[in-house]
Structure 1
Amino acid sequence: MRPSPLPAVYSHVVGLMAWGVLALNASCAPLPEPGPEDLGSSIAPVTGGTILFVGNSFTHGNEEPAYSYNKAAVTDTNGSGVGGIPGIFKKLTTQAGLSFNVSLETASGQGLGWHYANRPAIIGQATWNTVVLQEQSTTPLPTARGGSPTAFTDGARNLRSLVLSKNPAANLFLYETWASPASVSAQGYPAGTPGLQAMQTDLRDAYFKASRELGFTGVARVGDGYLRAVDQNLADPNPADGISAGMFNLWSASDSRHSSKYGSYLSAAVLFAKITQLDPRALATGPGSAAADLGISATEAGNLHRIAYEIAALPDPVVTVRTRLPVTGATFTGAVTAGAPVQLTGGAQLASLTTAEGTFTNLVGATASGVTGTNTPSSLGTVPANANAAASGLGAHDGSNNVGSGHFQFGTGFSARTRFFIVESTLASAAVGDPTTVTLISASNQAVGTYSLSLGESDFTATAAGNTAASLAALNYTGGVASVTGTPAGSAKSKLGAVSFSLADLGVTDLTSVSAATGLRISSSTLDPNVIGLYTVP
């Protein structure tokens, strides 16, 4: 059945063909042109010439049959003799009747900065009409997730300038990589599909932000294609427990991070659709096709073609400026002993917080008391009347208090300049931060819309296990369960860390949609919060 076209205008038709007959070397119809509201994402089709792919194993492939696929038809500029995703791309363009001279410059495990430093003679050739850049898979992520956004931007900027200095008319595309079960775990995202979604959102934002700021031709949303396959129940999001019937595995069975043959084929199909602006649904799937060569069935290939079409036809997303940041400093008043970090010895009040955005003293907050899971509540601050109405105040207590689930009301509306924060305590032998879900709530403690945020250990103050020097404060629990207070009570060394975040991090793009929000719901089976609150940046 022919898929329904997206609501857009076709200005021309090239090589019309019957949708039910997909023959080799048949011309593909062009993708729908964007409507008036999407003109910012319109690009001119590239239907031939010399094209260079720059990247690592996410480009050259990590295993057979993709690794050496079609290697005789492409040029490996490093002489490694691989075909990979560029080899699949070459075959797809041949099937579509196009003439591309395809080359690749790849090095396993390396990022764009490495390629700029070590392969400028290859990349900086005037011969390239089109260049595709793929960054190391975690570098574009936020620093709290182990990434280095600055390194990504610098590498992309330098390579773009190098290419354009030799050929000012060259097209430059960024190749957006994918979230994977292994990377989600390693980078501190929640498990399962929520983690894949959260990591892909961070990758998408990073690639489109770089594309817009640096002036790239466009972004091939390969990683978004992976996520769409998961969302449509075509790809199994958790291959470790076996592949569900009727699904395939986008990731390598050996490491759940690199692409499988399905992932490599989808990558090439998305690149084909984005670069050529032709409809991949018209690509062949029978004998002699790239899909058949790789052992991908006609049904599976048809679904991958459709996903590539849907992804390439999307308008560019609105990039949200995210401000989820670890808290790097804090000051306290009250029972405080100076040191590095300071020691809280009794009733203390949080006076300021420092993040990459500055130091802030206009704090409004609630002491996390009486909102408990399995631990006995204990606090030096005012105890709230019940678990749904945390006490006003900024008392940093020294009693153990796992949150379970609690509502924290601030009695005020929020703006784009609002920054929320959570100050969390843990034993000195552990790392600060636990899996936590934050949700906007109204004054009656009801969720506002579907806005929420998943936090992990890496979002909080970066304090290595056993290292109290990088924490915000040190304290000894004097109340709570014996396993964390010690014997006698107060003998177990503990520490504080914190995280700050904004409405944008919660997914809010329209402030009017959250006008009813006055508080936060914090849900975690292990988080031991001291203070939850907010402040306003200038």
Structure 2
Amino acid sequence: MRRWRIGALTAALATMAMTAAVPVSARTILFVGNSFTFGANSPVMRYRPDLVRDLNREGIGGVPALFKTFAEQARQDWTVSLETAGGRDLAYHYEQKRREIDGRWDVVILQGYSTLDPQRPGDPIRHAEAAGAIAAMLRQANSRVRVELVSTWTRADLTYRTPSPWRGKAVTAMADDLAAANSYAMRRYPVISGTIPVGQAWNRAWVDRIADPNPYDGIAFGQLDLWTWDQYHASAAGYYLEALVIFEKVTGFDVRRLGEQERAGRDLGLEPRSMARLQAIAHAEVTSVRP
């Protein structure tokens, strides 16, 4: 397989300073990702596309629309845009979608492929280089842009059924490996501002018995299934947790304040008590993780 390289980019990136916090004037946010961003196999995918600007004009709402709904309830004025492509990694977005994503943004959320490298599962190199390249490009348009990498969740199919580097390991292992890969990307490319611990929030939900860690043996009474029917993508509850973690990490708003009557969760049919528990998990994970 051709090794994807950035060339002289690495040396240039090492000299650029990292932005650690949202600028006071930050009000534009771009989501770049794949099916984990647009909410595949759940009602989240078509949730309120009128709230966001889909740069690919596909009518997607997804996690970005949940973010916007939270923002409205928190009385924050964010203009939310997204550029997504199912089954694609960040190298694809850099190579094929530069025209759409290259611009002046305050915050950019990058979500890579579920196994980091489609051809070499678990290998962080291609993922890190692409994230660094996108961040460097965006810094040319706005030197204060905040670029965050989403650390995604464990796939149940790759843990319990399908041959993979994670089969037979603890259900938390894949998410921990993905988070470690993002930490590596940050160390190698300082233009990346931080990481968003979505997968660690899922791990916390299992440890706290809010969600069931094994969908193949039935879902325990009173617990949530964070995966959808393919045991790969998220359920509405799983995407809801993802959006909560992203929102609190980006804005600093305590998502527990959204409460049991939060609008997006109600629209998705989530039980009020479950909404409050997911909000508490998101808050606990974000406030316990640095950066």
> So what's the TM-score if we normalise by structure 2?
0.88
8 Å CA contact 2:20–2:146 kept in 1: the answer is no
The alpha-carbon distance between structure 1 residues 42 and 232, as it changes in their structure 2 partners (threshold 3 A), is farther
Correspondence for 1:246 = 222
2:205 partner SS: helix
Question: Which of 50, 59, 69 is the aligned partner of 1:72?
Answer: 50
8 Å CA contact 2:128–2:184 kept in 1: the answer is no
8 Å CA contact 2:64–2:243 kept in 1: the answer is yes
Correspondence for 2:193 = 217
Unaligned runs of 5+ in 2: 1-17
- In the TM superposition, 1:47-62 aligns within 5 A as 48-62=26-40
Higher strand content, 1 or 2? 1
Higher helix content, 1 or 2? 2
The alpha-carbon distance between structure 1 residues 47 and 225, as it changes in their structure 2 partners (threshold 3 A), is farther
Measured on the aligned residues, the alpha-carbon RMSD in Å equals: 2.1
Correspondence for 2:4 = none
Find the aligned partners of 2:118 and 2:97 in 1 and give their Cα distance.
Answer: 24
- In the TM superposition, 1:286-325 aligns within 5 A as 286=261, 289-316=263-290
The alpha-carbon distance between structure 1 residues 269 and 119, as it changes in their structure 2 partners (threshold 3 A), is same
Instruction: Give, in angstroms, the shift of residue 189 of structure 1.
Output: 2.1
- In the TM superposition, 1:103-502 aligns within 5 A as 103-126=81-104, 128-139=105-116, 143=120, 146-184=121-159, 185-186=161-162, 187-191=164-168, 194-215=169-190, 216-253=192-229, 255-286=230-261, 289-316=263-290
8 Å CA contact 1:224–1:311 kept in 2: the answer is yes
Question: Which of 26, 36, 61 is the aligned partner of 1:83?
Answer: 61
Instruction: Give, in angstroms, the shift of residue 316 of structure 1.
Output: 2.4
Instruction: Give, in angstroms, the shift of residue 141 of structure 1.
Output: 9.7
The alpha-carbon distance between structure 1 residues 271 and 116, as it changes in their structure 2 partners (threshold 3 A), is same
8 Å CA contact 1:67–1:84 kept in 2: the answer is yes
8 Å CA contact 1:55–1:133 kept in 2: the answer is yes
8 Å CA contact 1:285–1:302 kept in 2: the answer is yes
Residue identity opposite 2:241 in structure 1? L
Instruction: Give, in angstroms, the shift of residue 147 of structure 1.
Output: 3.0
Deviation string 1:120-167 (CA, Å, 9 cap, x unpaired) is: 0111112x1111100001016995xx2332111111111011111111
The alpha-carbon distance between structure 1 residues 157 and 150, as it changes in their structure 2 partners (threshold 3 A), is same
Runs of 4+ in 1 over 6 A off after TM superposition: none
Residue identity opposite 1:169 in structure 2? R
When Rg is computed on C-alpha atoms for both structures, the one with the higher figure is 1
Correspondence for 1:336 = none
8 Å CA contact 2:20–2:193 kept in 1: the answer is no
8 Å CA contact 1:153–1:210 kept in 2: the answer is yes
2:143 partner SS: coil
Query: In the comparison of the two structures, how many residue pairs are matched?
Result: 271
8 Å CA contact 2:19–2:193 kept in 1: the answer is no
8 Å CA contact 2:23–2:106 kept in 1: the answer is no
Find the aligned partners of 2:236 and 2:193 in 1 and give their Cα distance.
Answer: 28
Unaligned runs of 5+ in 1: 1-39, 318-538
Find the aligned partners of 2:25 and 2:271 in 1 and give their Cα distance.
Answer: 27
